Structure 1
Amino acid sequence: MAPVRIAVVGLGKIARDQHLPAIAANPAFTLVATVSREGDGVPGVPHFQSLDQLLERGPAIDAAALCTPPQVRHELAAMALARGTHLFLEKPPGATLAEVAALQGMAQASGATLFASWHSRFAAGVAPARSWLAGRRIDRVQITWREDVRVWHPGQAWIWEPGGLGVFDPGINALSIATHILPQRFFLKSAVLEFPANRAAPIAADMHFCDTHGAPIHMDLDWRQTGPQTWDIVVETDAGRLTLSNGGAVLALPDRTERDEDREYAGLYAHFAALIRSGQCDVDVTPLQLVADAFLCGRRREVEAFED
């Protein structure tokens, strides 16, 4: 089978750090074009200022990875799906749930694969954590996701605008893991979202969930942590404690600890290739639903202004 001819749309930090190396390492794909309004793209690869320029004048593509901010992604995704192009959506899959649902309908009509990716689900410890938790009684869960926004999102103004999610941009990674590994669905009970006085998106959130069996789930998100960063999920069960740390890369169980190298994006692209071969889509919006519920039902608290 010939490699899938793929274009990367949006050449920000995540595209250069993760998507381009993962594509280069996967023989199922060949990078044939890049799209970005800024910069010159990748040496030796045709580069375009817009997706419509690529689709009209560029090399033929079978698939595209959309790595743009979520606020502008729907128009680009619709343009590609109208031509039957397979789509890999960087997380979150869109700025709203309704637009993602619309894209699902377009993908079904066109026969194209639509993959709403959640990279943290492909961290090394996540699959074994899900297996270990299956069938166990969950007593309580603590999610702590604290990092320094100046390190991970320097100068990215879009992330502070409506649809940019603010601290939920990393927080949705934790929710993508929790919704995948916990055996019962869970829902929001209460939330307090802290908004800097000069920003339209939150910098911190304190959230309380409950699963369908009554187990409490607490989530602590903060973008103001300096020094060592914290990406931990602790699950207390009838068989002892499970801890996922380092964003899911390290799994600690009552009788052992497992750790492995970073392979999130390698796993994502392997999955995307399999979806294309089988003619399937994978669009799970559950993490985005929980974030939407936080904005819908959470209390807003104004805090001091934040400057990069």
Structure 2
Amino acid sequence: MTELRIAIVGFGKIARDQHVGAIAAVPGAMLAAIASRNASLPGVPHFATVEELLEKGPQIDAVSLCTPPQVRRAQAAAALAAGKHVMLEKPPGIGVAELDPLIAMATEAKRTLFATWHSRHAPSVEPAREWLVARRLKSVHINWKEDVRVWHPGQAWIWEPGGLGVFDPGINALSILTRILPKPVFVTAAELAFPANCQSPIAANLTLTDIDGLPITAEFDFRQTGPQSWDILVETDEGRMTLSRGGRIMAVDGKVVADAPDEEYRELYRHFVKLAATGASDVDLAPLRLVADAFLLGKRNIVEPFVD
């Protein structure tokens, strides 16, 4: 098998914690270079920018964009124009419309554009989807609360326009929701809490539904201390199905029926290798559309300033 030579662009926490190890563990993938202004990896060719990488770097087939979403569109366009396959960390961009030209570029160039939703690859997401399809759903509640100081320490970009704030983790829940439910959902109301010194929300409450009126609520909060909460609860005519630990554990009426080790990022790269082999793309924007609608519909409340 010819290896897919991948350059990571943006070498922050998520790239170091997840992407490097995932690439090393996936047959058919190899880490060929890194582009980052602030960090490097011993033994791996390093460049300051994606432009320098494309001009002066070693031969690569693909780039994995792990930079903040505010700059990803231009980087993706440069890579596609240079004939490279592109993987986008979530969220794929700062808006929905900016993805359309990238999709068109990828199609014309016969190159892969992969908008990743790593939480969809949590081990119990597919078992949950399969279980729910045969049941009548009564209600859904998402409880997604974590400590931003633990998961995004010193990452000022997340509080800027386009950084999404609490929707950076919240979109993970929405990516699972849009995978496991049998029908498309949409936002009907939202309430967003903005710190007085930030441009993105620190907490959000959403009301959603589907075409049949299924009641769906979501609570997102970046201020959680102590135990963290990444749970989706679905009431059905055959009991309560719970996805916990971000989709790792599935239980029905409290009994665990699915639990396995986390290989989310390895699954992303396995899929990326397969897509790149044929130049196919995978760009599902449903989770991003829900976030965009939450901003459109959301009532905005100003809360105390956030100090990292």
Decide: shared fold, TM above 0.5.
yes
Q: Distance in 2 between matches of 1:174 and 1:123?
A: 11
User: How many Å separate the matches in 2 of 1:271 and 1:136?
Assistant: 29
The aligned counterpart of 1:29 is: 29
Q: Shift of residue 60 of structure 1? A: 1.1
Aligned equivalents of 2:279, 2:73: Cα separation in 1: 21
Q: Is the 8 A contact 1:91 1:117 kept in 2?
A: yes
In 2, Cα distance between equivalents of 1:189 and 1:27: 44
Distance 2:214 2:54 in 1: 50
Q: Tell me, in whole angstroms, the C-alpha distance in 2 between the residues paired with 1:256 and 1:16.
A: 32
Deviation at 1:16, TM superposition (A): 0.3
Q: Shift in Å at residue 256 of structure 1?
A: 4.3
Residues 248 and 260 of structure 2 are in contact (CA less than 8 Å); yes or no, is this contact kept in structure 1?
Answer: yes
Partner of 1:228: 227
Q: Which runs of 5+ in 2 are unaligned?
A: none
Which residue of structure 1 aligns with residue 295 of structure 2?
295
Task: Report if the CA contact (8 A) 2:127-2:258 is conserved.
Answer: no
Q: What count of residue pairs does the alignment treat as equivalent?
A: 307
Provide the residue aligned with 1:114 in structure 2.
113
Contact preservation (8 Å) 1:74, 1:94? yes
Matches within 5 A, 1:61-72: 61-72=60-71
Structure 1: how far apart are the matches of 2:242 and 2:101?
A: 37
Give the partner amino acid of 1:299. K
Paired letter, 2:211: T
One-letter code of the match for 2:163?
G
Matches within 5 A, 1:235-250: 235-250=234-249
How far apart in 2 are the matches of 1:306 and 1:53? 36
Distance 2:232 2:158 in 1: 24
State the alpha-carbon separation in 2 of the partners of residues 196 and 282 from structure 1: 35
- SS of residue matched to 1:200: coil
Instruction: Map Cα deviations across residues 228-253 of structure 1 (whole Å, 9 max, x no partner).
Output: 00000000112211100000000102
* C-alpha deviation, 1:277, in angstroms: 1.7
Contact kept? 2:249, 2:256, Cα under 8 Å? no
Deviations along 1:21-56, one digit per CA (max 9) or x if unpaired, are 0001112111110000012x1111100001111111
- TM-score by length of structure 2 reads 0.98
Letter in 2 for 1:191: A
Asked if the contact 1:135–1:183 (Cα under 8 Å) also holds between the matched residues in 2, the reply is no
Q: Is the 8 A contact 1:141 1:216 kept in 2?
A: yes
Identity level (%): 59
- Residue identity matched to 1:20: V
Give the corresponding residue for 1:284: 284
Separation of aligned partners in 1, 2:277 and 2:297: 41
Contact 2:243 2:251 (8 Å CA) reproduced:
yes
1:126 shift after superposition: 0.3
How do 1:82-161 residues align onto structure 2 when only pairs under 5 Å count? 82-161=81-160
Instruction: Find the aligned partners of 1:219 and 1:91 in 2 and give their Cα distance.
Output: 19
RMSD over aligned Cα, in angstroms?
0.9
Match status 1:15 vs 2:15? yes
2:167 alignment partner in structure 1: 168
**Aligned positions of 1:197-208 closer than 5 A:** 197-208=196-207
Q: Secondary structure at the match of 1:94?
A: coil
Partners in 1 of 2:37 and 2:282 — Cα distance? 29
C-alpha distance in 2 between matches for 1:166 and 1:98:
20
